Amino acid sequence: MNPSTLDELLLAHAAGRLPLPVDLLVASHLTLRPESRPAHAVFEQLGGALLEEIDPEPLDPKAFERLRDRLDRETGPEEAPAPPVEPSAGAPALPAPLLAYVPEGIGGLRWRRYGRIAEAVLDLGSPGFTTRLVRAEPGAALFRHTHEGLEATLVLEGAYRDGTGRYGPGDIELADGAVDHRPTAEPDAPCLCLTVTSAPLRLTGRFLRFLNPFVRL
Ligand code: ZN
């Protein structure tokens, strides 16, 4: 995810403008990636006012550069405590904000398996959004797809690649109808992600697209 897009997401989070599932995703990112916290802290101070100022216009990347400069001067690098993790041994750790909604840990969820991919839907009571944990075995690939709405993905463990790059722990990928991809877990470890979608995915593989009327992802 490029820095200006991440900054925009952090700013929207700091200003309390995100729907719950995306808010949770960004809060989990902040737990996993301490280096994002100083920017977020400044956005919390300035966020509301800044967002009101810039809302009608496209975001000015220079505004973020100036904020970053100010941030570097004022706060310097932050030593952050290690993120709280799920205590059970062997199970993937969930960041604390997410664990608050999954108190029994990932073992307590209802998982559905599709070959080497498994998913569990989280009920966050947020109409219009679907929130899932998706776990891919090493090297496993999702169906190629594009998006009818927005898709935000946060890597919790392991890493995956698609045509846009590589995403490791704490990384966020934002995708929409302009992105057609086939996320594939790295071959050396399973990959666990939190994904939020605002509309169904649309399969785009050569044969799979004929299944679209029958498949709701
Ligand atoms: Zn996608």
In a domain, 2, yes or no: no
In a domain, 125, yes or no: yes
Question: 169: CA distance to ligand 1 center in Å?
Answer: 17
In a domain, 176, yes or no: yes
Q: How many residues does the chain have?
A: 217
pLDDT at 87: 39
Question: 113: CA distance to ligand 1 center in Å?
Answer: 18
In a domain, 145, yes or no: yes
pLDDT at 2: 67
**pLDDT band at 49; cut points 50, 70, 90:** low
Contact 128, 198 (CB under 8 A): yes
Question: 178: CA distance to ligand 1 center in Å?
Answer: 10
Give the residue carrying structure tokens 């050396």.
188
**pLDDT band at 103; cut points 50, 70, 90:** confident
The domain that holds 201 is classified in CATH as 2.60.120.10
Tell me how many helices (H) and strands (E) the chain has: 5, 11
**Average per-residue pLDDT in the chain?**
83
Taking the whole predicted model, whether its pTM rises above 0.85 is answered as no
In a domain, 70, yes or no: no
Residues with Cβ within 8 Å of 64's Cβ and at least 6 positions away in sequence, in order, are 3, 4, 7, 8
pLDDT at 77: 45
Question: 32: CA distance to ligand 1 center in Å?
Answer: 22
4-23 residue pLDDT tens? 789 999 999 998 889 999 99
Total tally of structural domains belonging to the chain:
1
In a domain, 187, yes or no: yes
Domain of residue 194: give its range.
105-211
In a domain, 207, yes or no: yes
Question: 75: CA distance to ligand 1 center in Å?
Answer: 36
In this structure, the number of other CB atoms found within 10 A of the CB of residue 90 comes to 5
147-156 residue pLDDT tens? 999 999 999 9
Q: How far apart are CA 152 and CA 167, in angstroms?
A: 12
Q: How far apart are CA 188 and CA 205, in angstroms?
A: 25
In this structure, the number of other CB atoms found within 10 A of the CB of residue 122 comes to 18
How would DSSP label each residue in 38-49? HHHHHHHHHHHH
In a domain, 4, yes or no: no
55-90 residue pLDDT tens? 544 455 565 566 556 555 554 444 444 444 433 445
pLDDT at 37: 95
107-135 residue pLDDT tens? 899 999 989 999 999 999 999 999 999 99
Q: How far apart are CA 25 and CA 171, in angstroms?
A: 11
